[in-house]
Chain A
Amino acid sequence: MKASFAWLKQLVPHLPDDPRALADRLTAAGIEVEGITAYGQGTETCVLAWVVSTRPHPTKSGLRLVTVDRGEGSQEIVCGAPNVPEPGGVVVLAPLGAHLPAKNMTIGRRDIGGIVSEGMLCSESELGLSDESAGILVLPPGFAPPGTRLNDAIPETRDSIFEIGLTPNRPDGLGHIGLAREAAALLGVPWTRPDPEAPVRQRDGSAVDAVSIAIAARDRCAHYGASVVESVTIGASPSGIRYRLAALGVRSISTAVDVTNLVMLEFGHPLHAFDLDKVRGAALIVRRATEGEQLITLDGVTRALAADDLVIADAEGPIALAGVMGGASSEISASTTRVLLECATFDPRSVRRTARRHGLHSESSHRFERGIDHSDSRDCLAQATALTVRLCGGTALRDAAFAEGDAPAAVRVTLRAGAARRVLGIDITPAESKGTLERLGLRVVAESDEALTLEVPAHRPDLTREIDLVEELVRVRGMDTVAAELPSVRPTRPWGGREALLRRVRGAGVALGLSEALTFGFTSRASLAAMGAPEPAVALQNPLTSELDVMRTSLLPGLFEAASRARRHGEGSLALFTTGVVFLSGEGPNALPREPAMFAAVLAGEAPARLAKPRPRDVWDATGLALELVARLTREAPELLADPNAAPYLHPRGAASIHVHNTRVGVLGPIHPNVAEALDVDPRALIVEIDLDAIAAVGTRVPHYAPIPRFPASARDIALVVRDDVAAGLVLGAVREAAGPLAEGVSLFDRFTGQHVPEGHVSLALRIVYRATDRTLTDAEVDQSHARVVAAIADRFSATLRA
């Protein structure tokens, strides 16, 4: 909402002179002034000048030399505008030194084709009064004496415009009268609402004679008023009115339409003007539309109406969408001679539904949706009628026509004495409460030591309960009057319990060298399908784009997208993880989806190396990450099971699941080449996916103390050559088994092929650490155990021992 400071000041003369001071006060009370812009900045130095004579420029075609009388003398100005008026015409002169911020120009002496021009005849756009103009600003002859300051001749050329971020509970702020009332109440200065003007010409007669009015949908329309002005001439509005509208962001259309907009900006109450001669059958009916009925609205769109839409119909059909937009058929045009003005009260919810249904958000629907002041309808209509006569000429019919629907009941609210203390923690005296609320327009209807009962004016539909009045009290006196105090909070147990786990998971991911990504909850069916993720369980009715129309069942598409983008940027190395929920089918019809929490990581490219060529990441980066992550989270030793079918998006040769005890907590492996191809991901990318709800179910083991070994350990190595299709893990397992309880640890410390290793074989070097808990093992004991292990392994794997 834009508001004119000049207009407010006109309504409340006691306002401070500095717009900033008013803006700050309004903002502190919840009417947030987000910005102040200067309208017509630079016009202060401009004066009116009368054209004395014109002649062509001696050398430059298209330019003219205009001699103007500027009051204190005349001067010759070079002007290129096509519309320089005849002598006697009034134009606007920006003198030497004038600065016009709209075009960022400062007027200086200019030599144009040998003629020196000291000043400029200005257009509206150069003066910052409108966005564009076809030529210089020309005023009617005799508009004001030469030398009159433009700002004095047309006060609307200079204003401070407030950009107000109005909250939807304050419809009264959508008009200058409402803002004036609020400003006066906040500043404690007197204010009276202006009475409507009387039309300068009116004749006996009633609008009823010209058109019949009926409300068929009484629950949707509390009041309908119409007035008639005859013999009008529709044209352009005078410049003052055009500038006022332009300053407030409203396009000037024609006198009759501008009137309805001006009155709307003043009272906050939308009006509509019909061409009465286009109203068929001289009848207006406020009714619900019939399903499928058609109406061409002012914007030229043919609308198929719904039975829930409220329309204004004439004898033959709808001619306006009530409170939203007029119809094209009864639109005011240059040939209109009889204007019918409408000022009505429509049901906010009805207007909102219609506006949304038809995607038509208008200044009118915006106000009706929020609830307009139904008490001022007659005044609005009267003011609009008088203004129409003033601007369009013609004669008003003395009596307007009214029809009444279900009138809203008056609202009374009781404010108990202790209410402010209870809510705000401060005491507010009854006198202050009463004073504040009365200034805001409430009327005390009963008063006692315990309570104050007030009647709420129609312009404040947001005040219906005691708490609303308490808010008014603190809003007006300022929230800075409440001292801060820390509450004593009773500690509460966390609910859901995933936050702490997620924090640990993120910490572990970062500690393991990954960077955290954040990906959207929605994704495309295509990417889920391409990777073979579970079918989407949740689809969106109104997705942002038709692509992103389902909720993810896997965190991976988002990571793949990031990986693919990073690859296009030429990032060689990538180690990303994310945590978040996926959305799976809930149990039972209409149930909310399940939202299990997951961890997913994508590794790609090369692992950094020191003083060496970087090493391409491989599947053991994935197994290491998965095992370490799960171990850190559960404090258990997780187990890896190779499983070609662990997940459809994993490469069958490297796919595995990871288990803690007998719970499967995740999968990992290289990306399946088909998926990599379909989603444009590095085909060597690696994936780790951990089910965090499963991790939570496993829990975190609490370590139990084991005595620290008191006796020394002895290590023995074995080097053996086995067929290369024997899994190393199998050999290690067999070693552990053969070594028995004396073997504290078995590790594989070297593995190689080639050199002296026969084709199809691999050499494995293992170290076994022997230790007894109750004695120092003798060399003989260790050698004996070790010989047993060597024999068992050689036998089981047909292995050749190496020296």
Chain B
Amino acid sequence: MSDAHATIIASLEQLAGAFQASFDAAPNEQLLRDENAKVLGKKGALTAILKEMGKVSADARKSIGERVNALKSEVERAFDDRLAGIRRREREAELSAPAFDLTLPARTPAPRGHAHPISIVRDEIVGIFESMGFSVFDGPQIDTPANNFDKLGFPPDHPATDMHDTFYTTAGHVLRTHTSNIQVRAMTTQKPPFAFIAPGACYRVDSDLTHSPMFHQIEAFVVAEHVTLAHLKGVLAEFAERFYGTGTPVRLRPSYFPFTEPSAEVDIACVFCKQSDGARAGCAVCKHSGWIEILGSGMIDPLVFEQCGLDPERWSGFALGMGIERQAMLRYGIPEIRLLFDNDPRFLAQF
């Protein structure tokens, strides 16, 4: 063995004995890589040692080469192990660092907006009817007395109009007192069969705890052949189940509206005092009757068909109309209708 050979071998062995300690001493990945470069890098110890290779024989080169390869593998393995160790420790440290203070205010994507309770209820009701096959018919809030009253069979100079204290415009038009003007508009412009729903603002000269001079109604009506009261009841029952919850019975009480006959007020079993067995205990909302009045309905009066140019012997239909305010007040427990139109941000933010 030549001196050179021996020197190289000695240097390699020295290197082999020293690198592990320096790797173990490296506190993080960067310093570990630095240490690794000191051994295996272009300017590292191994490269420096191998500069002496020219001075040894070919045989010796071979045996040195084997030793070098083994050393390289050793260093690489030690590097990988140490790196894995460092990463594991760092991950553990990261995981066990103090928790984020989740009680700090959240960063909201956008400030929260609020739909008006009337809109929420309106969209829900419209949605229920749309899913039953009804479509929205949009019509004007200011209409002719003919469309609002006459064609609906309101007799002239009749107390039936007392139920509708009407705003008149100086041009002789009326602010519609109900959304039933849409029935007339549909019947005079569309060819049956059809099923429409008409949501919108209405007006009556009335202002107290439960009345607002502007309010909102939703009218739903079907005109087709062979429509009966049984169908009206079917739609009402379906609506009640979907809007007020399953297991909400409906009750029809005969009543009077000029444009329907037979006419009925519709009650639902009180949803506020329902017991687990389905019975109603009675409460302030239903005035201890177990029933809450929610809407008016009936079979479209043959006179209305005639006035709108449809043959009452052929066409039949039903109509129902409800005040959206009432549904919203019931649902959300709003005691006064005025609150719905005050637009107090503290009120609106509740919905």
Contact = CB atoms under 8 A, between A and B. Distances in A.
Contacts of A497: 138
Given A352-B158, A491-B133, A422 B144 contact: no
Given A486-B234, A512-B110, A521-B201, A499 B138 contact: yes
B124 to A, nearest CB: 11
B199 A541 contact: no
Given A511-B113, A516-B115, A566-B345, A538 B201 contact: no
Nearest to A500: B136
A467 interface: yes
Contacts of A592: 140, 142-144, 173
Interface centre among A512, A515, A551, A561 (most CB of B within 10 A): A515
B228 A515 contact: no
Interface centre among A495, A520, A561 (most CB of B within 10 A): A495
Contact of A369 (B159, B193, B235, B261): B159
Contacts of A573: 345
B327 to A, nearest CB: 15
Given A492-B195, A516-B119, A423 B138 contact: no
A511 B110 contact: yes
Interface string A710-739: 000000000000000000000000000000
Contact of B113 (A353, A510, A611): A510
Interface stretch (A24-32, A191-199, A667-675, A752-760): A24-32
Interface stretch (A224-232, A472-480, A768-776): A472-480
A486 B119 contact: no
A581 B214 CA distance: 13
B187 interface: no
Contacts of A514: 113
B72 to A, nearest CB: 36
A493 B229 CA distance: 24
Contacts of B236: 484
A352 to B, nearest CB: 5
B213 A424 contact: no
A25 to B, nearest CB: 12
A425 B229 contact: yes
- Number of contact residues on A: which range applies? 35 or more
B230 A483 contact: yes
B212 to A, nearest CB: 8
Contacts of B275: none
Interface stretch (B19-27, B33-41, B56-64, B160-168): B160-168
B135 A562 contact: no
Contacts of A506: 115, 119, 123
B237 interface: yes
Nearest to B231: A487
B116 A168 contact: no
B193 A494 contact: no
A251 interface: no
Interface stretch (B8-16, B43-51, B89-97, B336-344): B336-344
Contact of A423 (B144, B169, B299): B299
B196 A487 contact: no
Nearest to A168: B159
Given A168-B162, A490-B193, A520-B341, A479 B301 contact: no
A61 interface: no
A781 interface: no
Nearest to A583: B142
Given A485-B230, A575-B111, A611 B341 contact: no
A488 B143 CA distance: 31
Contacts of B126: 499
A670 B255 CA distance: 53
A509 B346 CA distance: 18
B31 interface: no
B173 A495 contact: no
Given A513-B111, A513-B112, A519-B343, A496 B137 contact: yes
Given A489-B134, A566-B345, A30 B233 contact: no
Contacts of A176: none
Interface string B195-207: 1100101010101
Contacts of A608: 111
Given A486-B238, A611-B105, A495 B252 contact: no
Nearest to A508: B113
Interface string A450-494: 000000000000000101101100110001101111110111111
Given A506-B115, A510-B113, A485 B234 contact: yes
A438 to B, nearest CB: 19
Contacts of B252: 479-480
A540 interface: yes
B113 A496 contact: no
A168 B158 contact: yes
A796 interface: no
A512 B113 CA distance: 7
A44 B203 CA distance: 49
Contacts of A425: 228-231
Nearest to B193: A490
Given A512-B113, A571-B346, A467 B256 contact: no
B71 interface: no
B114 interface: yes
B347 to A, nearest CB: 9
Interface centre among B133, B163, B196, B228 (most CB of A within 10 A): B228
A468 B301 CA distance: 10
Interface centre among A521, A558, A576 (most CB of B within 10 A): A521
B340 A518 contact: yes
Interface string B317-351: 00000000000000000000000111111101100
A30 B256 contact: yes
Contacts of A575: 111, 113
B113 A484 contact: no
Nearest to B257: A167
A515 B345 contact: yes
Given A370-B159, A496-B139, A510 B115 contact: yes
A565 B347 CA distance: 13
22 contacts: A168-B160, A168-B162, A369-B158, A465-B302, A479-B252, A483-B230, A484-B233, A487-B227, A487-B231, A489-B222, A490-B224, A492-B190, A494-B135, A494-B136, A495-B138, A499-B126, A516-B119, A521-B203, A538-B142, A551-B169, A558-B343, A565-B344
Given A30-B256, A494-B138, 5 more contacts: A32-B265, A486-B234, A492-B133, A495-B186, A575-B111
The 6 closest A-B pairs by CB, nearest first: A496-B138, A30-B254, A425-B228, A425-B230, A167-B256, A489-B133
Interface of A: 27-30, 32, 167-170, 348-349, 352-353, 366, 369-370, 421-426, 465, 467-468, 470-471, 474-475, 479-480, 482-487, 489-500, 503, 506-507, 509-522, 538-544, 551, 558-559, 561-562, 565-566, 569, 571, 573-576, 580-581, 583, 590, 592-593, 595, 607-608, 610-611
Interface of B: 104-105, 107-108, 110-116, 118-119, 123, 126, 132-144, 156-160, 162-163, 167-173, 175, 186, 190, 193-196, 199, 201, 203, 205, 207, 213-214, 222, 224, 226-231, 233-238, 250-256, 261-265, 299, 301-303, 316, 340-346, 348-349
